Amino acid sequence: MPPLENVLVVSAILFSIGVYGVLTRRNAVNILMSVELMLNAVSINMVAFAVYGRVAFDNTFTGIIFAFFIVVVAAAEVALALGIVVRLFRNRATANVDEVNLLKW
């Protein structure tokens, strides 16, 4: 088994990549992908803690359960967000978030 630190570092790297993607990408679907990256990084973290800290957390695999919930919620979120994106594309003929700048003064 790899040491806990390495798992955490890997997930941190993945998370930072996701943040970068969210900040830079223009396409809404692409931003969603980056969000997925971040979510997965988080759930890796949780699973790692749950697995390594089993004894400490007396076998209530909280982290793993959270990872489940994250997966489920991510599915829901993706379904809704993609619906929104498609609707947006129908109305504005674009999926680029920075071309949709109606949200201003």
Partner 1 sequence: MSATEVVFYIISFVMVAGGLGVVLSRNIVHSALALIMSLGAVAGIYVILTVEFLALAQLVVYGGAVIMLMLFALMLTRARERPQALFGKNRPVALAVAGGLLTAFVAGILGTEWAQSNRDEIEPVPFEEIGDVLFSVWAVPFEVVSVVLVIAMAGAILLSQPDEGER
Partner 2 sequence: MPDLVLSEFAGVSLPDWIDALIRIVFVVALMTVNALALIYLERKVLARFHQRVGPTRTGPFGMLQSAADAVKLLTKEDVRPASADRWVFELAPYFAFVPIFLVFIPIPWTETWVVRDLELGFLFVFGVLGLNLVGVVMAGWGSDNKYALLGAVRAAAQAISYELPMLLVSVAVVMVVSARLLVDNGSTLGAVDLNVIALEQTTTPFIILQPLGFAIFMIGMLAELHRPPFDMPIAESEVVGGYFVEYSGIRWSFFFLAEYTALLLLVMIASVVFLGGWNFPFGEDVGLGLQLVLTLAKAGALIFILFWSRAMLPRLRIDQLMSFSWKVLLPFSILQVLANAIILTYDGDEWIVGVTSLALLVLLSALVYVRAKMLARGAERSIHKQPARPRLITAQDVTSGD
Partner 3 sequence: MYWLDHAYVIPAIPAIAFFVLFALGKWLPRGGDWLSIIAIGTSFVLFFFVLEAHLDSVNAGLGGLSNVGFDWLEFEGFKLRIGFTVDSIAVVMLAVVTLVALLVQVYSVSYMRHHGKPEPRYWWYFAVHSLFVAAMLALVLADNFLLLYVAWEGVGLCSFLLIGFYFEKQSAVEAAKKAFVTTRLGDVGLLIGIILFWRATGTFQISEVIAAAQAGRTNELAPVMSDGYLTLATLMVFLGAMGKSAQFPFHVWLPDAMEGPTPVSALIHAATMVVAGVYLVARLLPLFDVTPGALQVVTGVGLTTALFAGVLAVVQTDIKRVLAYSTVSQLGFMFVALGTGAVGVAMFHLLTHAFFKALLFLGSGSVIHMTGEQDARKLGGLWWRMPVTAATFTIGALALAGIPPLSGFFSKDEIFVVVNAGQSDVILILMGVAAFLSAMYMARLVIITFLGSPKDLAVIRRAREAPPLMVAPLVILAVLTLFVGFFAFDQVGDAFGFPGGINNYVYFPLPESFHFDDTIAAATGVASLAGLGAAFWLFWGKAERAQRVAAFAPKATALVENKFYMDDVYQAAIDRVVLPAGRAVAVFDRVVVNDTGINGPGDFTRYGSTWLRRHVTGRIPDYALFMVLGIVAAGALGFLVRV
Report the alpha-carbon distance of residue 77 to residue 72 in Å, rounded.
Answer: 9
Block residue for tokens 């990872």: 67
Report the alpha-carbon distance of residue 39 to residue 96 in Å, rounded.
Answer: 22
70 binds, among partner 2, partner 3, partner 1, none (CB under 5 to 8 A by kind): none
| Contact letters for partner 1, residues 3-42 (x by CB under 8 A) | xxxxxxxx-xxxxxxxxxx-xxxxx-xx-xxx-xx--x--
Task: For residue 96, state whether it binds partner 1 (rule: CB under 8 A).
Answer: yes
State which H helix or E strand residue 42 sits in.
helix 28-52
Single-letter amino acid code for the residue at 2: P
In the complex, the smallest distance separating the C-beta of residue 67 from partner 2, rounded to whole angstroms, is: 15
Read off φ and ψ for residue 17, nearest 5 degrees: -60, -45
| Contact letters for partner 3, residues 47-86 (x by CB under 8 A) | ----------------------------------------
User: By CB under 8 A, which span of 5-13, 52-60, 73-81, 95-103 interacts with partner 3?
Assistant: 95-103
